[in-house]
Structure 1
């Protein structure tokens, strides 16, 4: 499988473990705590697999950006977090930075 596809799935699992961590209520909800552990392991395993053909720094930055932007967008859509123009501008800067890294990676 293409390393970039693996990296995207790693980022999606990162987003999932962060959300599961939030919904675990400080690890008091065993279901979300278990999901947190499972998603975290899957995310890290897939990230490490992507290192085979994507430079480590680029892969890590993309993985972090997918998770961060995904969680922010989820929070804005479903948790009532702020969606003001300045916040969206800074999200766009994160995305632009990742695109820039990808364009400059051999």
Structure 2
């Protein structure tokens, strides 16, 4: 369940990061309120995930999901610049997130085996 919470928190991070753009420096009321709600929910799920996942792994994955997702949303929906290298590095970031998850599973299995 912790990994589910971490993914939800990361996805909500995408929402609040994009929301910051639409809030225009918190000068637009409705986007600002939505952004603050998404920030609170994002950190709630992130904190729940850290009850079971180490802080380093959880934070790296949380921010990685947010960074990659926000960059993709920016390119696909907000007309931001797209380049081969930008896509390559987003793919590499996602690959690193997957590898962190796999490495974390191996560590958890080793801890269980030792008990």
| TM-score, normalised by the number of residues in structure 1 | 0.94
Distance in 2 between residues matched to 1:55 and 1:17, nearest whole Å: 24
Q: Aligned-pair distance for 1:104?
A: 1.6
CA shift for structure 1 position 92: 1.1
Residue in 1 that maps onto 2:48: 49
Gaps of 5+ in 1: none
Q: Tell me how far apart the structure 1 counterparts of residues 25 and 5 of structure 2 sit (CA, whole Å).
A: 30
CA-based RMSD of the aligned residues comes to 0.9
Query: Is residue 69 of structure 2 the alignment partner of residue 67 of structure 1?
Result: no
How many matched pairs? 105
Q: Greater helix share, 1 or 2? A: 2
The equivalent residue for 1:11 is 10
Partner Cα separation in structure 1 for residue 6 and residue 101 of structure 2: 13
Pair member with larger Rg: 2
| Structure 1 consecutive aligned stretches of length 4 or more whose deviation exceeds 3 Å | none
Mapped to 2, the partners of 1:50 and 1:75 lie a distance apart of: 27
CA distance in 1, matches of 2:78, 2:50: 33
- Number of the residue aligned with 1:36: 35
Give 1:88-99 correspondences, 5 Å limit.
Answer: 88-99=87-98
Give the TM-score normalised by structure 2: 0.87
